[in-house]
Amino acid sequence: MTIPIALTIAGSDSGGGAGIQADLKTFSACGVYGASVITALTAQNTRGVSGIHEVPAAFVTAQIDAVFSDLDVKAVKIGMVSQRAVIEAIVAGLARWSPRHVVVDPVMVATSGDRLLVPDAVDALRRLLIPRASIITPNLLEAAALLDDTVATSEADIAKQGERLLALGCEAVLIKGGHGDGPQSTDYLFRSDGVVQLAAPRIATRNTHGTGCTLSSAIAAGLAKGLTLEAAVREAKAYISAAIAAADRLQVGHGHGPVHHFHAFERK
């Protein structure tokens, strides 16, 4: 059996709820083999981030080349990349190996509120990495930060920011509505040919650690399996919604717990 392969390039979460750990769980749950390139180590749990240890850019390059020289990677998900030198190393690796699908989750702030992206790396993210993306997946806060703008509070504001983010050079933008208000959590998929809204009931839970990592990884998994972009986004939206709905059954940690990545495999 030949299994689709997806690669995550991101930071490690020692608490297991986000980052590399969430990505690999998501790949497995979605029927995709997961490989990984670690950009940073975090000392982290459900309560917050207490330390970050950066991986040298040269070793990020070594990991990228080791994976691509052996594995048939169908899609790449890129998460936490907090240093300019690491972003430059990733961009060079993408140019060298030319993966078909690149999903960029512009991770800037953890669920706990801890900032994960240093300011001097934001410009490199905008200018170098985003133009290589098949899709970027910012939440409302990250979309505003990428544009040096205020957080969108209306559908009209979201539409303007979506168009501005598209202008940075990526093929598509998914602005996530999880930080919004109201009974529905609506995501907005922007492409050159229009906008698609994807709504799901907003779920009342504090266990949302790793939701952004999980959604972007699920999109990458769908693309690795050969789905169209819109189909991959729709499937990923359904997956993360179910994972959040099942999160309270896990009871992990004392802060913002993880979503339930393997909810579909839980014994009834």
CA 22 to chain centre: 10
Active-site entry in 8, 208, 222, 257: 208
Question: Which secondary-structure segment (H or E) carries 262?
Answer: none
| Catalytic status, residue 213 | yes
Give the residue among 228, 145, 227 at the shortest CA–CA distance from 179: 145
**Residue 6: strand pairing partners:** 34, 75
**Catalytic residue selected from 25, 74, 77, 176:** 176
Is residue 261 within 8 A of residue 243, CB to CB? The reply is yes
Contact in structure between 107 and 117 (CB atoms under 8 Å): yes
Residue the block writes with tokens 């504001």: 157
5-13/33-45 β-pairing: parallel
Check 25, 137, 213, 237 and give the catalytic one: 213
Nearest to 80 by CA among 49, 114, 38, 50: 38
Give the C-alpha separation, 222 to 145, whole Å: 27
Q: Is residue 210 classed exposed, middle or buried when 0-12, 13-18 and 19+ CB atoms within 10 A define those classes?
A: buried
| 211 flagged as catalytic | yes
Active site residue 210: yes
- The residue annotated as part of the active site, out of 210, 214, 222, 225, is 210
Select which of 211, 214, 225, 237 is catalytic. Answer: 211
- Which residues belong to the active site? 176, 208, 210-213
